[in-house]
Amino acid sequence: QVQLQESGPGQVKPSQTLSLTCTVSGDSISIGGYYWTWIRQHPGKGLEWIGYIHHSGSTFYNPSLKSRLTTSVDTSKNQFFLRLTSVTAADTAVYYCARGWYSSSWYFDFWGQGTLVTVSS
């Protein structure tokens, strides 16, 4: 069974950088055609796709976040990472990592439990 687990600070100060790690077990990030994805959910709101990274290093980001976003992968640790710079209160959300697969559009078959990140001074 594939499992994903997010980790990182629960609170980040405005204008600073939000950094999260997703640790994958039960599957190898470096094998296959999966897209390792970040999705967030603002409090009481719907889901927002952030972006993905493939083990080859290719990335695809939400245009609304692209200028502040970097993702990376460490295949030796079976982890992938999110880095979002210049955060504001609008970045307060539950952040999920997920495994994505592409058919004629991406879908996400396994998700982490999510981690709440609050942007506050």
Site residues (vs other proteins, CB under 8 A): 46-49, 60, 62-63, 66, 96, 103-109, 111-114
Q: In angstroms, what is the minimal distance from the CB of 77 to other proteins? A: 22
Nearer to other proteins, 61 or 81 (CB): 61
- Give the whole-angstrom CA distance, residue 11 versus residue 62: 23
- Give the whole-angstrom CA distance, residue 27 versus residue 6: 16
Q: In angstroms, what is the minimal distance from the CB of 66 to other proteins? A: 8
Nearer to other proteins, 5 or 78 (CB): 5
**List of residues 6+ apart from 37 with CB closer than 8 A:** 49, 50, 51, 52, 97, 98, 99, 100, 106, 108
Q: In angstroms, what is the minimal distance from the CB of 64 to other proteins? A: 8
